[in-house]
Amino acid sequence: MINRVVLVGRLTKDPELRYTPSGVAMARFTLAVNRTFSNQQGEREADFINCVVWRKQAENTANYLKKGSLAGVEGRIQTGSYEGQDGKRVYTTDVVADSVQFLEPRNSSGSGDRNQSGQSFGSNNQQQFSTPSYQQSQPMNQQNYTRVDEDPFSNSSGPIEVSDDDLPF
């Protein structure tokens, strides 16, 4: 059985950071993800997907993302339910993120530096646009970094050949 989700979208509001009684960080946010097709009026619609991220990634998400930020999320779908105040059963669906990737520089939308906790990934200026990818199966000292300011095709000397076998559809 496989339960894997990959999303790219924009945050609908600033992430909400909370801590469990034992001190574990948890952040909630909603991603607006555009649909790949238009409705009958020719308009593109979006799905609003609730996401949850834990631990260091939660703190990084809350410190570096804000309403309108473009983010990539990789994780799994988790469903649940609880009894609402009116006594009716309320069903929930969340994406529990293993990894949240920041897909644009923080200052690209005029956001400036939102880092309120004084936390940073280092004094090296080029790291301000990256985030560690937290995966539970990976030792904490082996963190992946994704650079969004490097073009992997910049050294290419001509057109990039793509065969039909390379396409996912």
**What confidence tens digit (pLDDT) does each residue in 17-69 have?**
999 999 999 999 999 999 988 888 888 889 999 999 999 999 999 999 999 99
pTM: 0.61
C-alpha torsion sign, points 147, 94, 120, 66: positive
Residue 145 has pLDDT above 60, yes or no: no
Q: What CATH number labels 5-166?
A: 2.40.50.140
Stretch 89-110: mean pLDDT, rounded? 84
User: Tokens in use for 82?
Assistant: 């609880």
The pLDDT assigned to 44 comes to 85
What percent of the chain is predicted at pLDDT more than 70? 62
Stretch 96-118: mean pLDDT, rounded? 65
The pLDDT assigned to 105 comes to 79
Residue with token string 């990818």: 133
The pLDDT assigned to 97 comes to 95
Residue with token string 């600033």: 14
Residue with token string 């200026």: 125
pLDDT confidence band for 109 (50 / 70 / 90): low
The pLDDT assigned to 128 comes to 32
Which amino acid is residue 61, in one-letter code? T
| Whole-number Cα distances in Å, 158 to 149, 150, 155 | 21, 18, 9
User: Tokens in use for 3?
Assistant: 């339960």
Q: What is the DSSP letter of 57?
A: H
